[in-house]
């Protein structure tokens, strides 16, 4: 046995002696084995710094709940839009249908998947690209630009016009069966190509397959409404809006948001993504004719500046983050000072990599999308604490809200969506005019918000 490459009895004896010679290790062992790592690492003084009072704040209606689905990016997008409806018509609360964009996203992602399969027919099945395409062709996750594409094509509707179903509240069965069908369809397309079937016939096969996808989606989610009746009453029970609308008409009339004005800012301080440039991700999107995603990479302080400016103008901010990091979920607290994991273990675990290194080494990426609705500012006007509307229902956190400390923002917020008017002239010119660098499909900036 090679003592340098194997774990030896002497190694284990030394490790055990070092562990039990320290009282703190024994206390940590007893605490963690009883209540878990995060509960044992909880710092009450850090938790106490997360009070729910804010200098700048917007107010929504009742909290929404994505339940057992990965639709956080849809809920966040719709929550920024419903705010406009609530404000415009003086409503107590209001909710847009989340099942409606789910239907169209699954349909468009299926078409996007088929087009990618047809584009990679000569790629090896065992290669990284095809394996990636097959890994999760129609998952719940998404990006702001993908939601923008859905809204531009299909509009929105009130929740009553297309309510939740068993398969939208819990998407696991829908996801499993649709994914299985798509993989089987990809097999048929590739085998037909290998047998010499031409492109025109393959496209016809794809059209038939999309008919099957539509049938599956209607079975699980119901048929999306072509039009619907609307009766909105304000806080005083006065009729504020009524009539018959198509989803596109309702979006134009009730929401009135120019989604093309809203741009995705990311902050990825890695060597391969210099700040001040635009990026896109190969093979990432849903609506084929609208293209994929587009980001402008900026230092994290610029994301904060833009978010604060939009909040000051009484508009919420869509953002994406790595929600699982330094998060006390039950209390709704995202704060690096509220958990001392490194102190608990006695060596660097959370502190062993910086932001760029976590991205490079696969430790962190965007996992969840929520809405910034408030911020506290210090004497110099810099943020200290952010108010977050989550989509996990009113029983989560504090009446459905979380807090996010500014140091946590520095470490784990990766994306904000703001009106491009909050960019500098140079930033706006770069976003609109520069040809974006194309990132690999598996780049961390291609991650989709999907946490349940």
Rounded CA separation 426/286 (Å): 30
Cα–Cα distances in angstroms (integers) from residue 162 to residues 5, 134, 150, 391, in the given order = 61, 30, 16, 18
**Residue 245, helix vs strand vs coil:** strand
Q: Which residues are tagged catalytic?
A: 72, 368, 390
Token pair listed for 139? 């998952």
Token pair listed for 130:
């095809």
Distance CA 167, CA 359 (A): 33
Distance from C-alpha of 229 to C-alpha of 89, rounded to nearest angstrom: 17
Cβ–Cβ < 8 Å for 206, 118: yes
Whether the Cβ atoms of residue 317 and residue 418 lie closer than 8 Å to each other? yes
Buried b (16+ CB within 10 A) or exposed e, 350-368: beeeebeebbbeeebbbbb
CA quadruple 381, 310, 57, 264: dihedral, nearest 10:
-110
Who's near 94: CB < 8 A, 6+ residues apart? 61, 82, 85, 86, 158, 232
Where are any strands of DSSP class E within 212-307?
228-233, 239-245, 262-266, 277-281, 295-297
Q: Under DSSP, is residue 232 helix (H, G, I), strand (E, B) or coil?
A: strand
């Amino acid at each position: 046995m090679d003592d340098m490459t194997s774990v030896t009895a002497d190694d284990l004896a030394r490790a055990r002696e070092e562990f039990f010679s320290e009282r703190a290790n024994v206390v940590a062992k007893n605490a963690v084995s009883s209540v878990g790592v995060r509960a044992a690492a909880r710092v009450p003084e850090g938790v106490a710094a997360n009070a729910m009072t804010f200098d700048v704040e917007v107010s929504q209606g009742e909290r929404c709940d994505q339940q057992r689905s990965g639709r956080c990016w849809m809920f966040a997008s719709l929550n920024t839009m419903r705010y406009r409806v609530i404000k415009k018509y003086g409503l107590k609360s209001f909710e847009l249908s989340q099942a409606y964009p789910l239907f169209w996203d699954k349909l468009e992602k299926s078409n996007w998947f088929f087009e990618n399969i047809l584009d990679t027919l000569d790629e090896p099945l065992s290669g990284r690209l095809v394996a990636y395409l097959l890994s999760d062709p129609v998952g719940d996750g998404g990006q702001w630009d993908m939601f923008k594409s859905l809204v531009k094509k299909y509009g929105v509707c009130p929740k009553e016009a297309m309510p939740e179903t068993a398969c939208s509240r819990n998407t696991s069965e829908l996801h499993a069966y649709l994914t299985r069908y798509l993989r089987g369809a990809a097999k048929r397309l590739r085998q037909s190509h290998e047998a010499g079937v031409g492109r025109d016939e393959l496209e016809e096969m794809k059209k038939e397959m999309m008919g099957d996808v539509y049938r599956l989606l209607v079975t699980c989610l119901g048929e999306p409404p072509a039009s619907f009746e609307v009766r909105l009453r304000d806080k005083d029970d006065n009729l504020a809006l009524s009539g018959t609308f198509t989803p596109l008409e309702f979006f134009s009339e009730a929401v009135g948001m120019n989604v093309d004005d809203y741009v995705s800012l990311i902050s990825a301080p890695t060597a391969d993504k210099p700040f001040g440039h635009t990026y896109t991700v190969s093979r990432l999107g849903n609506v084929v004719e609208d293209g994929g995603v587009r980001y402008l990479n900026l230092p994290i302080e610029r994301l904060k500046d833009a978010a604060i400016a939009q909040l000051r103008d009484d508009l919420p901010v869509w953002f994406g983050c790595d929600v699982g990091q330094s998060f006390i979920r039950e209390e709704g607290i995202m704060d690096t000072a509220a958990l001392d994991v490194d102190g608990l273990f006695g060596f660097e675990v959370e502190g062993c990599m910086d932001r760029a290194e976590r991205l490079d080494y696969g430790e962190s990426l965007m996992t969840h999308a929520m809405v910034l609705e408030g911020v506290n500012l210090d004497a110099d006007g810099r943020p200290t604490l952010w108010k977050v509307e989550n989509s996990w229902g009113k029983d989560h956190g504090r009446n459905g809200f979380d807090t996010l400390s500014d140091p946590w923002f520095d470490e784990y917020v990766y994306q904000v969506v703001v009106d491009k008017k909050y960019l500098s002239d140079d930033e706006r010119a770069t976003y609109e005019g520069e040809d974006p660098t194309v990132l690999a499909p598996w780049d961390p900036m291609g991650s989709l918000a999907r946490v349940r």
